Amino acid sequence: MNFKSALLVALSTYLLSSGTVHSEELSKQDYLAMPAKASKHFQCAALLSITGNILKRSAAIHVLASSFTQKGYELGKQYFEAIDSDKITIIDLTLDIPSEFIYSTTSITTSDRQQQIAFNLGRISINAAGDLAEKMEITPLKDRDIDLIKIKQKSKVLIDEYCDYDALEMPPQLLERLRNDLN
């Protein structure tokens, strides 16, 4: 079995076996920490995608970016559901929470709360990617090329800052192979 086949089998097994299961009740602080963690996961996914699209395309980058997006979505969804079920209230919110999680300037009209949450999290992930692009100073040069050297230098530092691989809860062997494939 070649690496790509092994990767797909391992990833499929991981995705099918990973469900958000919580055996203990989370505290208000746990819920209040979710938006910042979700934003970081979305930014890591964007960073990996940018790095992959510009510097090096690989299946590992796609798998990791998708996994970080999924983790960000799960945390964001859990946060909004905690608000809906009064596990946290507007009074509990702090300045540490990214503003997109406190109020939404763009929303959809639907009676399905899960669709509203998914839409809001999609918007939040787009904003997180935009914030990251700003931090990376990704702007076209006068001939519309992007400064690849600057992106490569900044991406290494930002990957360490934004990508919490342990949070993905992947099997260690799979995670190690994926991370090795990034280099």
pLDDT tens-digit map of 117-155: 898 899 899 888 888 877 777 655 555 566 667 777 777
Amino acid at 107: S
Confidence category of residue 181, pLDDT binned at 50, 70, 90? confident
pLDDT of residue 151: 74
Is position 21 within any domain? no
pLDDT of residue 1: 45
Is position 17 within any domain? no
CA distance 86 to 80: 10
pLDDT of residue 67: 94
Domain span at residue 68 reads: 26-182
At a CB cut-off of 8 Å and minimum separation 6, what does 171 contact? 10, 14
Whether the model pTM is above 0.75: yes
Confidence category of residue 176, pLDDT binned at 50, 70, 90? confident
pLDDT of residue 129: 85
Is position 64 within any domain? yes
CA distance 72 to 36: 9
Is position 12 within any domain? no
Mean pLDDT of 161-173: 89
Alpha helices, H only, 88-163: 113-135, 148-162
Is position 92 within any domain? yes
Is position 60 within any domain? yes
CA distance 76 to 84: 12
Q: Which residues of 37-56 are buried (b: 16+ CB within 10 A; e: fewer)?
A: bbbbbbbbbbbbbbbbeeee
The domain total for the chain is 1
CA distance 47 to 53: 10
pLDDT in tens, 9-66: 445 444 444 444 444 789 999 999 999 999 999 999 998 888 776 666 778 888 899 9
Quick one: how far is CA 59 from the chain centroid?
A: 17
